[in-house]
Amino acid sequence: MSGLNLESFAENASRLGTRLQETISEHTRDLSIARASSAGYLDTPEEKVRLIRKQLDSNSDREKLDAMKRLIALISKGRNVSEYFAQVVKNVASHNLEIRKLVYIYLLRYAEQEPDLALLSINTFQKDLSDPNPLIRAMALRVLSGIRVPMIGSIVVLAIKKCAADISPYVKKAAAQAIPKCYSLDSSHQPELITIISTLLRDRSPLPIGSVAVAFEAVCPTRLDLFHQHYRRLCRTLIDMDDWGQVDLLNLLVRYARTMLPRPVITEDADGQSEEVDPDLKLLLSSAEPLFQSNNPAVVLAVARAFYYLGPPSEMKKIVSPLLRLLHISPEIERVTLSYILVVARSSPSLFTPHYTSFLVRTDDIRQVKKDKMQLLRLLISAENHQALLREFIYYADDSDDDLVADAIQAIGYCARLVPESTQQCLTALMSFIQSKHDPVVANAVLVLKSLVQLSLHHHQTLTIASTSGAYSPMAIISRLAYRIEEIRHPKARACVLWLVAGFFTKETPYVKLQTVTLAAKLLVLCPSDRTLGLLNRYVLSLARYDLNFDVRDRARMLGSLLSGVTSVLHSDEDGHEDQGGVVLRREQVKMVLFEGKQDVSLDTGIPVDDRHALLGSLSAVVGRDLTYDSYLPDWLEEGTESSLRDSEYDAPQVPIHAQPLPSAIPRSIASSSKNTPVILTPTGPSPSGSFVRQNGKSDWTDLDKFYAETESTEEEEGTEEEAVESDEEEADSNEDGDSEEEEEGSAEEPDTDSVDEGKGESEDVLHHAR
C-alpha cells in the first residue's frame, strides 16, 4: 500500500514539474518577444524609417501604431523627426487610444517648433478636453498651451479654467503647469490666471499643489495674501505631496513666513534663554521636519534651507545629520550639499566642528569639491582639533594638485594666526616647505611667511621656530628668505621677499617691479641724506618711467611727484627736469603716506568675497559668483501680520472617531443562534508546540479532544445556569413568529429585557471562547 502511495506521489510530482516548466517557458517566450520588439524599435534601420510616412497615411491602426512607436524610439535616441509633423497631426483624432497617446507625446515635443501646423488641429485639442480619459484631457491641454501663438491666448485661458475645475487631480496639475506658459505667451491675461491660481489653491488634493506653487512664482510672486486662508492646510499637506512639489511649496512657504510671520525672539530669564516662536511658524517647521527622511536629496536640502532661515537657534542642530547623510550619495549631490554646508558653517561653524572628519579631502574628489572642503576645514579649526587638521594640511601640501597645495599651505598660516599654541608647529612646517623642489610649494610658503612676519611686526610679537641653530626671530626668517632668493622663481613670492628684505632687481615681472620702485622710495624717505640711496632711487625711477607696463610707469610718476619735496636729488638741474607745481609734501608727510597703515594685515578667511553673502539654496552658492536672476530671500518682519488672517474652516478641531459602543440589546435572532456559534481556538503565539489557550486563563489545550472534554465538564458544573438559559431561549423561539407578523404590520414592540440579557450573557460567553 505504501509503495502505491509513493508511486502516485512521484507521478503527481512529475506532472507538476512538467507543468511548471511549460508555464515558465511560455512566459519566457513572451518576454523574449517583447524584448526583441523593443530592441527592434530602438534599432530601426533606414529602410524602415523611409516607410514611416507611408505607414502614418495608412488606414490600418496597426501600421499607424507601429510607425508611431518607431518615431518615439527615434526621439528617445535624440534624432530630429519633425519632418513627419504633418502626417502625425492628422492622427490626433484617432479612435485608437494607444495611437492618440503616442501622437500627443510627439506633439508635446514638436508643437512649439511647428505652431502653424498645430493650429490646424486646435478644434480636436479642444474636443479632447472633454475626453473620458484624464490622460487624454491632460495631454490635450499640454499641447494646446505649447502652441506659441499669441492669438490663441484666450482659448488657452478658457481651456486652463476648464481643466482647473476637473475632477481628476492629474488634469488639475496639467492646468497649473500650463499657467506659466500662457503667462509668458501673453501677460495681459494675468488677472484671469490669478483667479485660476486661487481656485487651484482651494483644492484638497496634494497632487497639483507643487505645480500651483510654480505657477504662483511665475505669475504673481508678490501676492502672498492669496495664501492666508490656505497656509495652515498647505503646511499639513506637505507630507502627502510628491517630492518636487514639496521642494517648490517649501521655498514658497519660507518666503511667506519671512514676509508675514514675526521673527523668533530669544529672551533672557532666570532659567536661561527662552525662545518665543509664532504658532504658525512652529506648524511649518513641525510639518517639514519629517521630510528630513526623504529619499530625494532636493527635499532634504529644501527642508534644511527652511530650518536655517526660519528656525530659532535651538532648531539649527537638526539640519546637521541630514546634510552629512547626503555627502555619500553621489559626487554631484556632494558638490551641491557642500555649498549648503559652507553657507551654514560661515555663520555657525560650531554645528559641524565635531564632524570635521566628514570633510577630509579624498584623492578622487573633483577640484571644486577639494576647494569647498578646504574652506570648510579652515572654518572648523578650533583649539581641540587643530593638531589633527594640521597633520592633514601638511599631508595635502605634497599633493599633485597645485590648487590644493596652495589652499593647504594658506590653511597652515591661518591656523597659526587663529590658534597661537600651534604657531611653532606651523612655522616649522612652512620653513621646511621653502626647501622643496616644487615651485608652488615654495611660492605659497613664502607668501604665508610674509603675512605672518608682517602680522608679528605689527603686533610686536616674536615668532620662534625650533631649529638646530636656535629660535628664529622675524628678522632671521627674512634673512633666510633672502638667502634663498635665487631659488624662488614665482613672481609673487619674489615680490614678497623683496618687500621683506629690501632687495633690488631690474629684470623682473611688473608685479616685482612695482614693489622694487616702492622699496626705493621708502629707502630714500628713511635716509634722505644718503647720496647713494638718492642716486639709486633716481636710477630706478628713470627705468620705471619708460617701462612697457603702464602700471609701473604710473607708479614711478606718482612716487616721483610724491618725493619732490624730500630731496633735490631727484629733480636736479642736471637732468633738465622742470620744477613741478602743486602741493609739495614734507618728509614726515611722505613717510606717513608710504608707511602708515601698511603693516596692518587682515586675517584671510579663505572665503571669496562674493560667497560670504550667498544665500542657502541659491545657484550663486554653488557656482561661486553672483547671478542676475538668482533667488532672493525677504527680510523678517518685526511683528508679522495678524494670525486671524490664516484662519479657515479647515482649522476647526476634528471630532475623533471612536469605536461605536455595543448596542444595549442584542437582537433575538443573534441570541437564538449564539448556541450554534462555532468555538474558534486561538494560538498562543510563537510557541512551536501549537498549543491553544483560552482567554479566561483556566487551562491550556494541546489537542481538540481535550478541549471538548473540558468543555463538557464545564457545562456540567454550570448545568443550572444552562437550563435557565435554554428555557429562556425556548420562550424567545416561540415568540419569533409573532414578532415577525408584527413587523410586517409596521408596529414596533419593545424586546423582552430578561431574555435579551440572558442571550447577551451567553453571547459573551461564546465570544470568550472565540477569542
Residue 670 has pLDDT above 80, yes or no: no
The confidence score (pLDDT) of residue 504 equals 40
The confidence score (pLDDT) of residue 112 equals 75
Bridge partner list, 550: none
Distance CA 129, CA 459 (A): 78
Is-contact 230 259, C-beta < 8 A? Answer: no
Residue 679 has pLDDT above 70, yes or no: no
Residue 323 has pLDDT above 90, yes or no: yes
Is-contact 444 409, C-beta < 8 A? Answer: yes
Distance CA 227, CA 202 (A): 10
Distance CA 29, CA 36 (A): 10
Q: What is the largest CA-CA distance in the chain?
A: 147
Hunting for cell 509668458 — which residue is that?
184
Pairing of strands 265-269, 272-276: antiparallel
Distance CA 110, CA 80 (A): 9
Residue 333 has pLDDT above 60, yes or no: yes
Distance CA 386, CA 356 (A): 11
Q: What is the mean pLDDT of residues 156-179?
A: 94
Residue 368 has pLDDT above 60, yes or no: yes
The confidence score (pLDDT) of residue 573 equals 42
DSSP secondary structure letter of residue 627: -
Residue 574 has pLDDT above 50, yes or no: no
Could you count the other beta carbons within 10 Å of the beta carbon of residue 589?
14
The confidence score (pLDDT) of residue 717 equals 56
Is-contact 609 233, C-beta < 8 A? Answer: no
Q: Among the listed ranges 105-119, 390-404, 587-601, 676-690, which one has the minimum average pLDDT value?
A: 676-690
Is-contact 104 133, C-beta < 8 A? Answer: no
Nearest of 134, 155, 130, 135 to residue 145 by alpha carbon:
155
Nearest of 430, 444, 453, 548 to residue 499 by alpha carbon:
453
Angle, CA 546 vertex, CA 545 and CA 550 arms, to 5°: 80
Instruction: Assign 97 to helix, strand or coil.
Output: helix
Share of the chain above pLDDT 70, in %: 69
Per-residue confidence band for 419, with pLDDT thresholds at 50, 70 and 90: confident
Give the Å distances, CA to CA, from 609 to 114, 370, 606, 614: 47, 19, 9, 10
66-72, long-range: CB within 8 Å, 24+ apart, which pairs? 68/99, 68/102, 68/103, 68/106, 69/41, 69/102, 70/41, 70/44, 71/102, 71/106, 72/102, 72/105, 72/106
Read off the amino acid at residue 42.
Answer: L
Per-residue confidence band for 293, with pLDDT thresholds at 50, 70 and 90: very high
Distance CA 618, CA 616 (A): 6
Angle, CA 288 vertex, CA 285 and CA 289 arms, to 5°: 85
Distance CA 256, CA 213 (A): 12
Q: What is the mean pLDDT of residues 765-770?
A: 44
Per-range mean pLDDT, top range of 11-25, 131-145, 278-292, 513-527: 278-292
The confidence score (pLDDT) of residue 84 equals 84
Read off the amino acid at residue 433.
Answer: F
Helix (H) / strand (E) containing 371: helix 367-379
35 vs 321 pLDDT, higher one = 321
Q: Which cell is 200 given? A: 487651484
Distance CA 241, CA 287 (A): 12
Distance CA 179, CA 334 (A): 34
Pairing of strands 700-701, 470-471: unpaired
Residue 697 has pLDDT above 50, yes or no: no
Distance CA 143, CA 150 (A): 15
Strands (E), 586-722: 692-693, 700-701
Nearest of 337, 387, 386, 343 to residue 358 by alpha carbon:
337
The confidence score (pLDDT) of residue 195 equals 94
The confidence score (pLDDT) of residue 478 equals 73
Q: What is the mean pLDDT of residues 276-301?
A: 93
The confidence score (pLDDT) of residue 306 equals 94
Instruction: Assign 267 to helix, strand or coil.
Output: strand
Q: Which cell is 355 given? A: 564632524
Could you count the other beta carbons within 10 Å of the beta carbon of residue 357?
10
Distance CA 520, CA 252 (A): 61
> CB within 8 A of 19, min separation 6: which ones?
none
Nearest of 762, 758, 740, 759 to residue 749 by alpha carbon:
740
Per-residue confidence band for 238, with pLDDT thresholds at 50, 70 and 90: very high
Per-residue confidence band for 501, with pLDDT thresholds at 50, 70 and 90: low
Distance CA 767, CA 770 (A): 5
Bridge partner list, 531: none
The interaxial angle of helices 531-545 and 510-526, nearest 10 deg, is: 150
Helix (H) / strand (E) containing 265: strand 265-269
Rounded to the nearest integer, the mean pLDDT of the chain is 76
The interaxial angle of helices 209-219 and 243-260, nearest 10 deg, is: 50
Q: Among the listed ranges 67-71, 212-216, 220-224, 503-507, which one has the minimum average pLDDT value?
A: 503-507
The confidence score (pLDDT) of residue 614 equals 74
Read off the amino acid at residue 506.
Answer: T
Q: What is the mean pLDDT of residues 552-562?
A: 88
Distance CA 524, CA 535 (A): 10
Per-residue confidence band for 516, with pLDDT thresholds at 50, 70 and 90: confident
Q: Which cell is 88 given? A: 502625425
The confidence score (pLDDT) of residue 653 equals 57
Q: What is the mean pLDDT of residues 325-332?
A: 92
Q: Among the listed ranges 46-60, 83-97, 284-298, 721-735, which one has the minimum average pLDDT value?
A: 721-735
Residues constituting the chain? 771
Distance CA 485, CA 572 (A): 35
Phi, psi of 256 (to 5 degrees): -65, -45
Regarding pTM above 0.75, the answer is: no
Burial (0-12, 13-18, 19+ Cβ within 10 Å), 725: buried
Distance CA 398, CA 436 (A): 10
Q: SS3 sequence, 165-230? A: CCCCHHHHHHHHHHHHHHHHHCHHHHHHHHHHHHHHHCCCCCCCHHHHHHHHHHHCCCCHHHHCCC
Q: Among the listed ranges 378-382, 397-401, 613-617, which one has the minimum average pLDDT value?
A: 613-617
Distance CA 140, CA 632 (A): 35
Residue 288 has pLDDT above 90, yes or no: yes
Distance CA 168, CA 140 (A): 14
Instruction: Assign 400 to helix, strand or coil.
Output: coil
Distance CA 751, CA 735 (A): 11
Nearest of 359, 355, 250 to residue 310 by alpha carbon:
250
225 vs 649 pLDDT, higher one = 225
Nearest of 336, 231, 328 to residue 287 by alpha carbon:
231
Q: Which cell is 35 given? A: 524584448
Residue 227 has pLDDT above 70, yes or no: yes
